[in-house]
Structure 1
């Protein structure tokens, strides 16, 4: 249980009926109604909201642009701006896709394809847990839902600060994921891996160097978490890259799940080499659909002495 909340995840509290939560309840009902709209309307709304967010969220916009400049130096300034704007549109599309996954999942029928499922099934058949190396995709829980059509994924999550919002998201995710594991519950995570579960884990954000090293990410040194090395070593699980993305005609989108073979010799005896290899896997994934990633996070915020500031 998270230290932030003194109740079980997903548990309803009578306090949620107090006036301080009424605004959020109204927002929740509104979002549920948005999930039943035709995709054509959802797409137009997402595009409008994406343009608005790109214009109004100045700090996030600057971070996104800077990240793209650093990671894709081959792009012209005009291309960077175009792709940065599309990141915000894809983020809003991901919100609608997540609402569809939660409240109208039949929308995904006949829209999903998968490659490499055998890598997970073979690993589990051999008695191994599977740590699915993924990214913070703008598809959000829609990606988890399409994966759940082929295998049972667990997910590592960070509790929300607002307890009502946390309850809502937890309950909605319960329809998608077999188990939800608090990011602070390392024992639970290891236990599930030892039990042979497949757990979606995203080692692609900057959490400093307390449990990480500086390793190149798109050619630029970035604080890279290494906690997964310990998880794999203790649980005897295997690391399998997983990526999902939207493709095709936006008026009739399709969704692709790409699962690659288990990463050989991970963890090795070299912490830095392992971090480099994982970053390279993430880079390869992101090049497939560059704008379907949360570039508005400060991926290069940790800059030890001797490293040039990015932001």
Structure 2
């Protein structure tokens, strides 16, 4: 009698050779071909595909437009529309940049810089783990790769529903991150923090009030997760804001990692005050490169009682 063994992330299964997966294999080959194209072609393709996505993905477009209207009331209607379109272009650029990070990492040579690395180094020298408070950037794993040129990051991830895609992405990310920690694996997350690891964690999405509290984000009440407060209390890790973004002309981009000083007196006894503080930090980061954020997520889907729906 054969004994069932639990699937391990990144593990190949013979079932991946079945016909139902052939389309994905063909798609992966196409992506690898795209990864070896010159950047001059890649960024023009990204512009074409980004504009196509903006025009065809109505629900995502409407969400993006509404998020930008709410968060940047100083922008005119034309500015909101143009920046919303650029969000989709930046997302497609991020796909190509991620492919480069996975398959052609030498492309980034001479294009990266870091500011504030000493904040991570000091915390780890003191024997503490580091929880890097970041955002859902359109740079995707390209940002992780740039970070990995200066320190050894781990990442919290959500497994893909398709097991073949999950295996392929996990293996590609293994070349960038020291460890990949399932978002449901709290024990693993705690263990790595206690072992002094630096872990990229993004507390910037709306998971409802069962996992958070209402706190202002760009001046608008938003459901804000509080799980990182518990992690920091249990592990005594340092909370250090992290932001990475693309700079310069698209024809010759540069990539910068901004590491801010450790948050002192964090977490405090007030979870709403901590959530407000976290949101303000993320807001200040996003103002550096507003369109390099996944604004097509419904950041304000949870609304306080008596407030109208934003979407």
Q: TM-score scaled by structure 2?
A: 0.98
Question: 2:282 matched to 1:282?
Answer: yes
Q: SS at 1:132's partner residue? A: strand
**Residue 307 of structure 1: how far off its partner (Å):** 2.1
Alignment of 1:61-72 (within 5 A): 61-72=61-72
Taking a change above 3 Å as real, the CA distance of residues 6 and 55 of structure 1, as seen in their structure-2 partners, is: farther
Count of residues in correspondence between the two structures: 307
Q: Distance in 1 between matches of 2:143 and 2:170?
A: 16
Other-structure match for 1:42: 42
Question: 2:234 matched to 1:214?
Answer: no
Q: Distance in 2 between matches of 1:249 and 1:169?
A: 29
Other-structure match for 1:185: 185
Other-structure match for 1:134: 134
Q: SS at 1:34's partner residue? A: helix
Q: SS at 2:188's partner residue? A: helix
Q: SS at 1:290's partner residue? A: coil
Other-structure match for 1:21: 21
Q: SS at 1:165's partner residue? A: helix
Other-structure match for 1:83: 83
**Residue 6 of structure 1: how far off its partner (Å):** 4.7
Q: Distance in 2 between matches of 1:163 and 1:146?
A: 27
Q: Distance in 1 between matches of 2:41 and 2:160?
A: 29
Q: SS at 2:128's partner residue? A: coil
Detail structure 1 runs of 4+ shifted over 4 Å in the superposition.
none
Q: TM-score scaled by structure 1?
A: 0.98
**Residue 303 of structure 1: how far off its partner (Å):** 1.4
Residue-by-residue CA offset, 1:3-33 (whole Å, 9 max, x unaligned): xx95100000000000000000000000001
Q: SS at 1:266's partner residue? A: coil
Question: 2:300 matched to 1:300?
Answer: yes
Q: Distance in 2 between matches of 1:129 and 1:171?
A: 25
Q: SS at 1:45's partner residue? A: helix
